[in-house]
């Protein structure tokens, strides 16, 4: 009887075997690397966006930040204070101001000026104002324009009678200028009852002098000389500031006005807290 011979052939021996397939090459870590990089980029962009937003809201006094906040209507409106709601702050004489700020370096003064403007824009919610009081004599009067930080109203420069090294530029933010213009040589008396002149900027002047940009925080009316009822005007907080404009608001050159400008009639003086005018 003939035996059936069965041979189990291996792939290496049989001519009928299919050629062996090589295993696919390992993918390596290239895909994981790019996914990791993409995640890190997204995290960096998110962190940068968050920090940028935080910086913009914390520093509204910076011109670019102020412009962005104004564009998206994220700026708080400047409050209309009166004698009862005005922020509490210390009143400083010209001597106090000179003693405190005359020794500041340029860098220290820049930081302080940013703080002044930031507090003003935030309605002094987180820092008290620095008020100025004393007797000052006017040596310059100008109408405000849109090229200045306050775009409507009047600004006067006045020098301290007690300490000539200190000058102020007093900003009257208003749409209705006084009928009779303030003039060279007039007295400007800042007291603790109704002026509430808050410092917004300190500028160095030659011969170791300072000029303070101040604005009254009470927006009912302001009288340069309370005994002269003709020289008053109704003030109001500006809707927007021009933070791209240079500070101080005016230069230091004295200007004696040649004649009164053409202005609208002054509004009727409003009644005071007790009904007095």
Q: What is the pLDDT of residue 222?
A: 59
Element (H, E) at 106: helix 106-121
Q: Residue 266: which pLDDT band, with cuts at 50, 70 and 90?
A: very low
Q: What is the pTM of this model?
A: 0.75
Q: What is the pLDDT of residue 248?
A: 95
Q: How many residues does the chain have?
A: 277
83-141 pLDDT, tens digit per residue, is 889 999 999 999 999 999 999 999 999 999 999 999 999 999 989 999 999 999 999 99
C-alpha–C-alpha distance, residues 267 and 177, integer Å: 9
Helix, strand or coil, per DSSP, at residue 38: helix
C-alpha–C-alpha distance, residues 153 and 254, integer Å: 19
Across the range 183-193, mean pLDDT stands at 86
Across the range 195-207, mean pLDDT stands at 94
In 10-133 the beta strands, taken as DSSP E runs, fall at 90-92, 130-132
Q: What is the pLDDT of residue 243?
A: 96
Q: What is the pLDDT of residue 195?
A: 82
Q: Residue 24: which pLDDT band, with cuts at 50, 70 and 90?
A: low
C-alpha–C-alpha distance, residues 192 and 200, integer Å: 18
C-alpha–C-alpha distance, residues 138 and 254, integer Å: 9
Phi-psi category of residue 208: left, alpha or beta, with phi > 0 → left and psi -120 to 50 → alpha? left
Dihedrals phi, psi of 167, to nearest 5 degrees:
-125, 160
Nearest CA-CA partner of 175 in 200, 143, 149, 199:
143
Q: Which of 43-47, 142-146, 252-256 has the highest mean pLDDT?
A: 142-146
202-242 pLDDT, tens digit per residue, is 999 999 999 999 999 986 555 555 555 545 567 889 999 99
Whether the bond between 248 and the residue before it is cis, its omega within 30 degrees of 0, is: yes
246-261 pLDDT, tens digit per residue, is 999 998 888 755 554 4
Residues in a beta bridge with 166: 210
Q: What is the pLDDT of residue 183?
A: 82
């Amino acid at each position: 009887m003939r035996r059936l011979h069965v041979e189990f052939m291996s792939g290496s021996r049989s001519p009928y075997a299919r050629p062996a397939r090589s295993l696919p090459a390992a993918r390596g870590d290239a895909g994981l690397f790019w996914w990791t990089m993409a995640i890190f980029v997204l995290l960096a962009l998110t962190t940068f966006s968050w920090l940028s937003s935080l910086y913009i809201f914390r520093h509204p006094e910076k011109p670019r930040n102020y412009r962005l906040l104004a564009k998206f209507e994220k700026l708080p409106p400047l409050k209309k204070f009166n004698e009862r709601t005005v922020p509490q702050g210390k009143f400083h004489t010209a001597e106090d101001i000179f003693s405190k700020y005359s020794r500041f370096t340029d860098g220290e003064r820049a930081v302080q000026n940013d703080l002044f403007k930031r507090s003003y824009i935030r309605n002094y919610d987180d820092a008290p104002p620095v008020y100025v009081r004393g007797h000052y004599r006017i040596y310059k009067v100008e109408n405000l324009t849109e090229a200045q930080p306050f775009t409507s109203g009047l600004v006067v420069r006045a020098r301290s009678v007690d300490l000539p090294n200190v000058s102020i530029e007093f900003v009257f933010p208003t749409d209705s200028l006084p009928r009779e213009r303030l003039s060279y040589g007039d007295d400007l008396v800042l007291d603790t009852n109704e002026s509430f002149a808050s410092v917004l900027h300190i500028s160095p002047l030659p011969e170791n002098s300072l000029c303070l940009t101040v604005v009254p925080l009470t927006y009912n009316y302001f009288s340069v000389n309370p005994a002269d009822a003709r020289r008053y005007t109704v003030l109001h907080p500006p809707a927007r500031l021009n933070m791209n404009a240079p500070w101080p608001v005016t230069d230091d050159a004295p200007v004696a006005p040649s004649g009164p400008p053409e202005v609208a009639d002054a509004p009727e003086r409003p009644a005071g807290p007790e009904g007095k005018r």
